[in-house]
Amino acid sequence: MSTTHTPPPSGASTREPAIAGQQHATNPDAIDAQEPWMRGLHSDTGYLLYRIGLRSGQLFNAFLQESGLRLRHYALLRYLTTTEGALQRELSARLGYDPSAIVGLVDDLEKLGFAERRPSPDDRRSRIIVLTEDGRAFLRDSHEAGRRATNALLHPLDATDRDTLHTLLQRIAESELG
């Protein structure tokens, strides 16, 4: 049995935008669940988690775009709220980012005044990354926008389903991500 594929309109991309701000980043074309090949993918939980993760990243990056930050910056800032300061290698291990990526992220946050490097109290050869008051203010101000992004993603679910989803995802994250 053969299926026909309708190509996208002339000039349209079949790829999802990888960076917030690219055309359609906040409103990608919906997946046609009626396509036979999609029905198979939709029965694969791992694929659904992957797609929803992509969409979540798009929504969060779109709300962060105005500030010049990306989701990786936001995650680093959020982690810094839990500590009095962290070594770059600790940030790399906790967030699962390559150590070289941490350097660039911290550089970006320093330029914005959201974080700063300070001498480590335990080892004067090392520097810790500390959240600044401007970084705390940014997180306070961005909380509502983050909530809107989450609500946009989870709009089909009622409060009970959202709580259940969160509990299940938390359990997986604790098991798989530590």
The answer to whether residue 5 is domain-embedded is no
pLDDT of residue 108: 95
Question: Hey, CA dihedral for 153, 148, 109, 24, is it positive or negative?
Answer: positive
The answer to whether residue 4 is domain-embedded is no
Q: Residues 162, 154: contact at Cβ < 8 Å?
A: yes
The answer to whether residue 11 is domain-embedded is no
Per the structure, how many domains does the chain have? 1
What ranges make up the beta strands (E) of the chain? 86-87, 115-119, 127-131
119-152 tens-digit pLDDT: 998 888 889 999 999 999 999 988 888 888 899 9
Mean pLDDT across 164-171 = 94
Range of the domain at 78: 36-177
pTM for the structure as a whole: 0.68
If one counts every other C-beta atom within 10 angstroms of the C-beta of residue 51, the result is: 15
Cα 21 to Cα 19: distance, rounded to the nearest angstrom: 6
- CATH number reported for the structural domain that contains residue 41 in this entry: 1.10.10.10
- Is the pLDDT at 27 greater than 50? The verdict is no
